Amino acid sequence: MTIALRTFEAKDGWPALRRQFAGRLPEADLALLDEAVAFAADRHGAQRRPAGEPYLEHLLEAVRVLVDGLGVTDVDVLRAAALHDVVEDTDCTLGEVRERFGPRVAELVDWVTKAPRAEGESREEARSAYLTRLQGAPQDVLLVKLADRLSNVQRLDTHPRPEKRRSYYQETLRSVVPLAQAHPWFDEWYATWTEAFAHLG
């Protein structure tokens, strides 16, 4: 039996997504999102995801999850979703995010940014510490993180490395799925996802 998993795409880019959001988000908030998306696109540049898609596609998928899946209209949360990887994956600093987008957006981005590894700390230890820290995160942070991970795992079988598919599935079950329990929509989505990708367990 095929399990119907709702997926979120953003292949047509921000202008198409913006048109879909019109009427659900005020024009003033869409203008604020214009700025955040343009900033993210500039900073991520030609970066690609593991399966080859433009990096911006992932960021827009996270935004779409929040708007289309959960009905989020808080523009700071949506801007943080668009910007959630700029500090971790580009030369952008948290100070730049704070100066350009304000303290609340910067705080949300900071929460979902993995800290640089401490001296003598392994990649696995750093990753574990990051995921453990999220257990005490504010709810708005969890919305951004859960949307980010949803984008990453919704088409997990397209990842070019089979061993990464398995380890990412197991990590998501162990460390991310429990974070979804406080949010019924995410809880239901991740339960369906867990079953759809059970072959990776």
Architecture of domain 13-200: Orthogonal Bundle (1.10)
Q: What is the pLDDT of residues 9-33, one digit of tens each?
A: 999 999 999 999 999 999 999 999 9
Q: List pLDDT tens digits, range 50-75.
A: 888 999 999 999 999 999 999 999 99
Active site residues: 88-89
Q: In the predicted model, what is the mean pLDDT of the chain? A: 95
Residues near 112 by beta carbon (within 8 Å), at least 6 away in sequence: 80, 84, 134, 141, 144, 145, 148
Give the per-residue pLDDT at 119: 85
In this predicted structure, what is the pLDDT of residue 51? 87
What is the tens place of the pLDDT at every residue in 109-151?
Answer: 999 999 888 888 888 889 899 999 999 999 999 999 999 999 9
Query: Model pTM?
Result: 0.95
- What is the pLDDT at residue 1? 52
Instruction: Write down the pLDDT at residue 3.
Output: 73
pLDDT digits (tens, 9 = 90+) for 140-183: 999 999 999 999 999 999 989 999 999 999 999 999 999 999 99
Q: What is the pLDDT of residue 117?
A: 85
Per-residue pLDDT, 151? 97
Q: What is the pLDDT of residue 2?
A: 60
Residue ranges per structural domain of the chain: 13-200
